[in-house]
Amino acid sequence: MLASFYQKFLEKYLNKAQLITLKMLVWVLQNQKQVKLERLAATLPLPIQQNSRRRHLQRFLTLNALSVVLLWFPIIEEMIGRQIKAGSQVIIALDRTQWKEKNVLMASVIYQKRAWPIYWCLLEKDGSSNLSEQQKVLRPVIRL
């Protein structure tokens, strides 16, 4: 399920029903090999029809509370505050990868041979990124 750190943190941002849905979704994602909405809805343990489960997931995944800036940034900030000592060197990596038909540009913090994704965006084109796209990903990371 969710680690206690995430559990306590998410309780601040999500209501009880949303937190339960998130826990179920994490459990289903850990058991499924495919991340397809139809597949997740079919295996989500809710006592409603599959079509209703699919719509429930669609509404849940588009919640503003689940945005990267509102939810993920505070979690990363807390993790960095706990794990990285003040004055330590931190490396910010910028990487682009092709994931099936998706072209993802991601910024991560690297500390003690571990990389934590901080911010990412999907590029609307194939191939490498340009300076403006890189700046678009790096600006929120540097502010953080």
User: What is the total count of domains within the chain?
Assistant: 2
15 and 53 fall within a common domain: yes
Q: d(Cα 103, Cα 112) in Å, to the nearest integer?
A: 27
Q: Are residues 62 and 22 in the same domain?
A: yes
The total of other beta-carbon atoms located within 10 Å of residue 11's CB is: 11
**Does one domain contain both 75 and 137?**
yes
**Calpha distance 108→94 (Å, rounded):** 7
- Residues 76 and 134 reside in one and the same domain: yes
Q: Which residue has the tokens 């502010």?
A: 143
Separation of alpha carbons 53 and 71, rounded Å: 24
Q: What pairs with residue 92 in β-bridges?
A: 109
Point out the domain boundary residue: 66, 86, 104: 66
Q: Distance between CA atoms of 82 and 76, rounded to whole angstroms?
A: 10
Amino acid at 108: S
For residues 100 and 43, membership in a common domain is answered with: no
Is residue 94 located within the same domain as residue 130? yes
- Write the CA distances from 14 to 27, 39, 61, 108, integer angstroms: 17, 24, 12, 25
pLDDT tens string 59-117: 999 999 999 888 889 988 888 888 888 888 889 999 999 878 889 999 999 988 888 89
Nearest to 115, CA basis, from 97, 136, 135: 97
Q: How far apart are CA 122 and CA 133, in angstroms?
A: 10
Listed residues 22, 47, 66: the one ending a domain:
66
**Whether residue 134 sits in one domain with residue 74:** yes
pLDDT in tens, 44-69: 999 999 999 999 999 999 999 999 88
Rounded to whole angstroms, the Cα distance separating 100 from 34 reads: 13
Query: What is the pLDDT, as a whole number, of residue 129?
Result: 92
Same domain, 53 and 79: no
Q: Are residues 82 and 118 in the same domain?
A: yes
pLDDT at residue 122 in the model:
93
Could you tell me if 48 and 95 lie in one domain?
no
Residues 60 and 91 placed together within one structural domain of the fold: no
Q: 43 lies in which domain range?
A: 4-66
Both tokens assigned to 37 = 């909405």
58 and 91 housed in the same domain: no
Gap between the Cα atoms of 109 and 84, Å rounded? 11
